[in-house]
């Protein structure tokens, strides 16, 4: 199952390490990653694959939410299908 | 991989612009529950609805959590109860059963305590209609609708006359709660069979056994997109179209996913801009963003026509099946901009009536003084219904004569139903017209001028 993880918040050390560590622990594989700093805000977008042995989606979601609160950034995970629907018209697959 | 700006656009639409899916409405046919025993019919209805809709709320919440878009309401729409109870005459047992189902499934509203009397009423249908005030005043989540006209049959003025009295009875029976029963009752012309919106949802006779219909929303998203537009009205229409496309795609995704998980068929997406009373979620504010000082000003009908048309054009390509009421809604009590304009005397009942000729759906959630006569309410209904019949579109009236309150006061309904300033209405007497009864013949469908 493909999903997008978005991390938004004030820039500080170790955000990528902590988020990617948490994903690794939950058996979520990072396939692509991009990050920018807009003004002083850190924005990271990760394209991930939720692997077979991963916990249920709502558990991953609440774990990430908890981590976000701990390190002071907003972390969201959403199925990739919502972005496919809104931003992609492609003849090569059904949306 | 999507660009950061695309991902953020979606996230901002939800977090700052009130993008939501207004409702997943599960339509369930009750034709196979008909028996000649009130008790047995009610039992069969209970079993079927619990089987089909038992998981509706959980399914909606799961999908919402996974895609990160709120799904505000989960609703059920059933076959018009007047058809289901015609043999057993057990409508009062059915209303208790529907109330129990609404409670146990945890859904927000259940629609379909309805009758289709656009040409004539059977004696039983008349008895059924007279039960509506009790049904709506003794339950919280049940909604009722009555179709009193179609473009092909004309207007059943006997039914229109009766509805004036029924609206007044609903108001009286819920007099301690600002006559809230009236907010759950809609009078229709050209009612549609797959509407996911309340209070007018029911499942028509041409529909599947169980079907998911979805209503989208997002006036706030359109308003924010228009804030960036400095160009002419062609550009305004283009931006609305593109925004409506994106909003509708969300609805399409949710409808397909919900139908899959519930194991029922996927019906339609209703291309709607439905406001809520929250600031930043108003259709009126879109019209003001296009360039009116206040909704209700001259230019309101034209800007609304542009908005309504562009929403449909954008949405129609985004979904493979479009239906329901599809258009911009203008419920006064549910829209912060409409409430303000009505309070300031800038939005009149007459202007609202004109607006309904170019948008969806009708005179919706309008509070009027409690001492208005049933005949005036019937005549108000007749006017709005005539607009729908002549223009071959759905129109509706959901009017609340707030018991014990006068013009200038406010009625408060709470939640999505909001609050409404009580508006002045023309008191000149239409009784002779209303009391004539009979039918207004169907209009000519050619030589249109």
Span B331-369, pLDDT tens digits: 999 999 999 999 999 999 999 999 999 998 899 999 999
Q: Is residue A58 part of a domain?
A: yes
Interface test with B, best of A30, A63, A65, A82 (most B CBs within 10 A): A82
How many domains is chain B partitioned into structurally?
Answer: 2
Q: How would residue A95 be classed by pLDDT, with cut points 50, 70 and 90?
A: very low
Please name every residue paired with B187 in a beta bridge, in sequence order, or none if there are none: B146, B397
Q: Which residues of B touch A55 (CB under 8 A)?
A: none
Of A47, A82, A85, the CB nearest to B1: A47
Q: Taking CB atoms and an 8 Å cut-off, how many pairs form between chains A and B?
A: 62
**Residue in B248, B278, B254, B277 with CA at minimum distance from that of residue B266:** B254
Of B94 and B5, more confident: B94
**Residue in B22, B42, B21 with CA at minimum distance from that of residue B30:** B42
Residue A78 to residue A6: CA distance in whole angstroms? 8
Q: Is residue A69 part of a domain?
A: yes
Task: Provide φ and ψ at A80, rounded to 5°.
Answer: -65, -25
Of A34, A79, A86, the CB nearest to B249: A86
pLDDT in tens, B117-150: 999 999 999 999 999 999 999 999 999 999 999 9
Closest-CA distance of chain B to residue A14, Å: 20
What residue numbers bound the domain in which B145 lies?
Answer: 25-189
Task: Provide φ and ψ at B202, rounded to 5°.
Answer: -150, 165
Q: Is residue B444 part of a domain?
A: no
DSSP H helices in B138-208? 157-173
- CATH number of residue A24's parent domain: 3.30.70.260
The reply to whether residue B252 touches residue A85, judged by beta carbons under 8 angstroms, is yes
Residue in B closest to A60 by C-alpha: B66
Judge if B165 and B60 occupy the same domain: yes
- CATH number of residue B257's parent domain: 3.20.70.20
Judge if B164 and B67 occupy the same domain: yes
| Mean pLDDT of the A8-14 span | 89
Of A43, A77, A82, the CB nearest to B4: A43
Judge if B182 and B225 occupy the same domain: no
Q: Is residue B9 part of a domain?
A: no
CB A28 within 8 A of CB A49: yes
**Strands of B244-285, DSSP E:** 265-270, 272-273
Q: Is residue B310 part of a domain?
A: yes
Q: Is A62 on the interface with B (CB under 8 A)?
A: no
Interface test with A, best of B7, B214, B316, B320 (most A CBs within 10 A): B7
- Indicate the DSSP class of residue A5: E
How many domains is chain A partitioned into structurally?
Answer: 1
Q: Which residues of A touch B69 (CB under 8 A)?
A: 82
pLDDT at A93: 59
Q: Is residue B10 part of a domain?
A: no
Q: Is residue B2 part of a domain?
A: no
Please name every residue paired with B367 in a beta bridge, in sequence order, or none if there are none: B400
Asked if residue B200 has pLDDT above 80, the reply is yes
Asked if residue A92 has pLDDT above 70, the reply is no
Closest-CA distance of chain B to residue A59, Å: 11
Judge if B175 and B246 occupy the same domain: no
Q: How many CB atoms lie within 10 A of CB A89?
A: 11
Judge if B340 and B379 occupy the same domain: yes
Q: Is residue A91 part of a domain?
A: no
Judge if B119 and B185 occupy the same domain: yes
Judge if B169 and B220 occupy the same domain: no
| Mean pLDDT of the B361-390 span | 97
- Indicate the DSSP class of residue B182: G
ipTM: 0.88
| Stated pTM of the model | 0.93
Judge if B175 and B233 occupy the same domain: no
Strand A41-50 to A28-38 pairing = antiparallel
Judge if B122 and B53 occupy the same domain: yes
Average pLDDT, chain B: 95
pLDDT in tens, B274-328: 898 888 899 999 999 999 999 999 999 999 999 999 999 999 999 989 999 998 8
Judge if B178 and B32 occupy the same domain: yes
Q: Is residue B414 part of a domain?
A: yes
Of B8, B62, B67, the CB nearest to A82: B67
Tokens 């549910």 appear where? B334
Q: Is residue A94 part of a domain?
A: no
Closest-CA distance of chain A to residue B250, Å: 6
Q: Is A54 on the interface with B (CB under 8 A)?
A: no
The reply to whether residue A79 touches residue B6, judged by beta carbons under 8 angstroms, is no
Closest-CA distance of chain B to residue A43, Å: 8
Q: How far is CA B40 from CA B99, B110, B128, in A?
A: 17, 21, 19
Is-cis flag, bond preceding B199, omega within 30?
A: yes
| Mean pLDDT of the B69-84 span | 97
What residue numbers bound the domain in which A16 lies?
Answer: 2-86
Tokens 């003001």 appear where? B288
Task: With H, G, I as helix, E, B as strand and everything else as coil, classify residue B152.
Answer: coil
Q: Is residue B301 part of a domain?
A: yes
CB B228 within 8 A of CB B236: no
The reply to whether residue B6 touches residue A83, judged by beta carbons under 8 angstroms, is yes
Of A34, A36, A82, the CB nearest to B10: A82
Residue in A closest to B61 by C-alpha: A58
| Mean pLDDT of the B255-267 span | 96
CB B367 within 8 A of CB B373: no
């Amino acid at each position: 199952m493909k999903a997008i993880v978005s991390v938004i918040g004030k820039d500080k050390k170790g955000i990528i390490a902590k988020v990617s560590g948490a994903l690794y622990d939950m058996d979520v594989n990072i396939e692509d990653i991009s990050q920018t700093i807009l003004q002083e805000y850190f924005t990271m977008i990760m394209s991930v694959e939720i692997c077979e042995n991963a916990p249920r989606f709502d558990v991953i979601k609440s774990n990430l939410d908890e981590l976000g609160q701990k390190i002071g950034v907003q972390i969201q995970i959403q199925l990739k299908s919502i972005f496919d629907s809104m931003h992609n018209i492609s003849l090569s697959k059904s949306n | 991989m999507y660009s950061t700006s695309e991902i953020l656009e979606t996230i901002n639409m939800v977090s700052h612009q009130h993008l939501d899916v207004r409702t997943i409405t599960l339509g369930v046919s009750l034709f196979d529950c008909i028996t000649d025993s009130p008790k047995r019919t009610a039992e069969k209805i209970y079993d079927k609805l619990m089987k089909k809709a038992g998981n509706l709320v959980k399914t909606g919440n799961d999908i919402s959590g996974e895609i990160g878009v709120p799904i505000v309401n989960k609703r059920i729409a059933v076959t018009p109860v007047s058809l289901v109870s015609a043999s057993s005459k057990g409508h009062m047992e059915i209303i208790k059963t529907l109330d129990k189902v609404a409670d146990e499934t945890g859904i927000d509203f259940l629609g379909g305590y309805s009758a289709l009397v656009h040409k004539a009423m059977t004696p039983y249908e008349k008895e059924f209609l007279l039960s509506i005030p009790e049904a709506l005043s003794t339950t919280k989540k049940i909604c009722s609708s009555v179709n009193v006209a179609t473009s092909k049959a004309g207007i059943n003025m006997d039914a229109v006359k009766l509805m004036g009295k029924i609206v007044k009875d609903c108001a009286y029976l819920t007099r301690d709660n600002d006559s809230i029963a009236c907010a759950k009752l809609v009078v229709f012309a050209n009612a549609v069979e797959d509407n996911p919106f309340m209070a007018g949802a029911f499942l028509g006779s041409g529909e599947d056994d169980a079907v998911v219909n979805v209503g989208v929303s997002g006036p706030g998203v359109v308003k924010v997109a228009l804030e960036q537009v400095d160009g002419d009205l062609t550009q305004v229409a283009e931006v609305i179209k593109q925004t409506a496309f994106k909003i509708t795609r969300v609805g399409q995704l949710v409808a397909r996913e919900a139908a899959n998980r519930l194991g029922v068929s996927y019906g339609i997406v209703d291309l709607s801009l439905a406001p809520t009373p929250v600031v930043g979620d108003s259709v009126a504010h879109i019209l003001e963003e296009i360039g009116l000082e206040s909704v209700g000003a001259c230019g309101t009908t034209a800007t609304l026509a542009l908005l309504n048309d562009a929403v449909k054009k954008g949405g129609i390509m985004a979904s493979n099946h479009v239906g329901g009421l599809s258009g911009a809604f203008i419920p006064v009590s549910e829209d912060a901009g409409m409430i303000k304009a009505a309070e300031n005397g800038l939005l009149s009942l007459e202007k609202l009536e004109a607006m309904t000729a170019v948008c969806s759906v009708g005179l919706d959630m309008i509070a009027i003084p409690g001492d208005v006569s049933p005949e005036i309410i019937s005549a108000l209904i007749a006017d709005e219904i005539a607009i729908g019949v002549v223009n071959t579109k759905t129109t509706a009236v959901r009017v609340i004569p707030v018991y014990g309150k006068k013009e200038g006061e406010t009625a408060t309904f709470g939640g999505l139903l909001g609050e409404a300033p009580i508006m002045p209405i023309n008191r000149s007497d239409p009784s002779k017209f209303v009391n004539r009864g009979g039918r207004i013949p169907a209009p000519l469908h050619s030589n249109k001028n």
